[in-house]
C-alpha cells in the first residue's frame, strides 16, 4: 500500500468499515446504492482486499447485501427490523442485570463515570459519542454478568451498528433513558438484580420506540 495512504495498514479494513458505515448513516450511500470494490479501493488509496473484508463485515451485520454477479449494495433497514433487534436486546440485558448485580462492588466509580459520559455526550448533542459511550456502559454490565454465551449473543447482534443506524434514521428523545441509567447504576451497586434487570429491559424498550413499527416490535 502506498505510504501516502490515509489508512493505517494494520487496521485498513476496520477504518474502511467505519467510513462506509458513516456514509450509509448520513445518507451519502442511500438504500440501493451499489458499492464497487475497485472504485472504493481507488478512492481510499488501498488494495481491494481490505475493501472486500470491510464489505463482508458490513454484510454480516445487515448493513449491506451482496448478489451473485451484481456486487454489494446498501440494504434498506426498516424500523421494524431495528425494533426487533432491540426486543432481543431487552431480554438479554434483563438477564445480564440479574446476573451482574453485586459484581460492581469496588467498581462503582467506573460504572458511574461511564453513565456520566453518556449523559455528557447527549447534552452536547453528539449522537456519535452518545452511541459509543452508551454501548460501552451496557457492555460493561453484560460482561459483568459472567456468562460467556450471553456476552457472545449480545455481541452477535452488533448493537454498535444498529444503534448508530437507529440514531441516523430517527430523532428520539432519550432523556428518559438517561434517567434510567442512574437507576440502573444504583440497583446494580445495591445488588438488586431483579430491579436492575427490569430497568435494563425498560431502557431497551424505550430506546426502540422511535417509530410505530419499532413500538410494535418491542411491545
- The pLDDT tens digits of the residues spanning 125-163 come to 888 788 889 999 999 999 999 999 999 999 988 887 777
Supply 176's cell numbers.
Answer: 428518559
Do 126 and 180 share a structural domain? Answer: yes
| Residue 133 in grid coordinates | 459511550
Indicate whether 181 pLDDT > 60. Answer: yes
Residue 4 lies in a domain: no
- Picking from 74, 99, 127, the residue at the C-terminal end of a domain is 74
Q: What is the pLDDT of residues 53-65, one digit of tens each?
A: 999 989 988 889 9
Kindly report the pTM of this predicted structure.
Answer: 0.75
What's the pLDDT at 208? 59
Reported confidence tier of residue 171, pLDDT bands at 50, 70, 90 = low
Q: What is the CATH number of the domain that holds 40?
A: 1.10.10.10
**166 shares its domain with 211:** yes
Mean pLDDT calculated for residue range 6-30: 79
- What's the domain range around 128? 79-218
Is the per-residue pLDDT at 16 higher than 80? yes
Q: Residue 172's pLDDT band (boundaries 50, 70, 90)? A: low
Give per-residue pLDDT as tens, 81-131.
Answer: 778 888 999 999 999 999 999 898 888 899 999 999 999 998 998 887 888
Out of 74, 89, 109, a domain closes at 74
Of 47, 74, 101, the one marking the end of a domain is 74
**Which string of DSSP letters, residue by residue, matches 148-206?**
HHHHHHHHHT-HHHHHHHHHHH-----HHHHHHHHHHHHHHHTT-HHHHHHHHHHHHHH
Percent of the chain with pLDDT over 70: 85
- The verdict on 54 and 151 lying in the same domain is no
Q: What is the dihedral of CA 63, 66, 70, 72, to 10 degrees?
A: 30
Same structural domain for residues 88 and 59? no
Q: Quick one: which of 117, 125, 129, 137 has its CA closest to 185? A: 137
Average pLDDT over residues 200-208: 83
Number of domains in the chain: 2
Q: Is the pLDDT of residue 31 over 50?
A: yes
What is the per-residue pLDDT for 85? 85
H helix or E strand, kind and range, residue 78: none
How much is the mean pLDDT over the chain? 84
Answer whether residue 101 is part of any domain: yes
2 lies in a domain?
no
What pLDDT does 80 receive? 80
Which pLDDT does position 94 carry in this prediction?
A: 98
Amino acid at each position: 500500500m502506498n505510504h501516502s495512504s490515509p489508512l493505517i495498514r494494520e487496521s485498513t479494513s476496520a477504518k474502511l468499515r467505519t467510513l462506509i458505515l458513516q456514509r450509509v448513516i448520513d445518507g451519502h450511500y442511500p438504500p440501493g446504492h451499489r458499492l464497487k470494490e475497485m472504485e472504493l479501493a481507488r478512492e481510499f488509496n488501498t488494495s481491494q482486499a481490505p475493501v472486500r473484508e470491510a464489505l463482508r463485515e458490513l454484510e454480516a451485520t445487515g448493513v449491506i447485501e451482496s448478489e451473485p454477479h451484481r456486487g454489494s449494495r446498501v440494504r434498506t433497514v426498516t424500523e421494524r427490523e431495528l425494533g426487533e433487534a432491540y426486543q432481543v436486546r431487552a431480554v438479554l440485558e434483563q438477564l445480564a442485570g440479574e446476573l451482574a448485580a453485586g459484581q460492581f462492588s469496588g467498581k462503582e466509580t467506573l460504572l458511574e463515570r461511564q453513565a456520566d459520559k453518556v449523559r455528557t455526550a447527549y447534552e452536547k448533542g453528539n449522537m456519535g459519542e452518545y452511541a459509543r459511550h452508551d454501548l460501552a456502559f451496557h457492555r460493561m454490565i453484560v460482561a459483568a454478568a459472567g456468562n460467556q454465551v450471553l456476552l457472545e449473543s449480545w455481541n452477535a447482534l452488533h448493537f454498535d451498528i444498529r444503534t448508530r443506524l437507529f440514531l441516523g434514521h430517527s430523532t428520539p428523545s432519550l432523556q428518559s433513558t438517561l434517567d434510567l441509567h442512574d437507576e440502573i447504576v444504583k440497583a446494580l451497586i445495591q445488588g438488586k438484580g431483579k430491579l436492575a434487570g427490569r430497568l435494563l429491559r425498560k431502557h431497551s424498550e424505550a430506546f426502540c420506540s422511535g417509530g410505530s413499527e419499532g413500538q410494535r416490535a418491542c411491545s
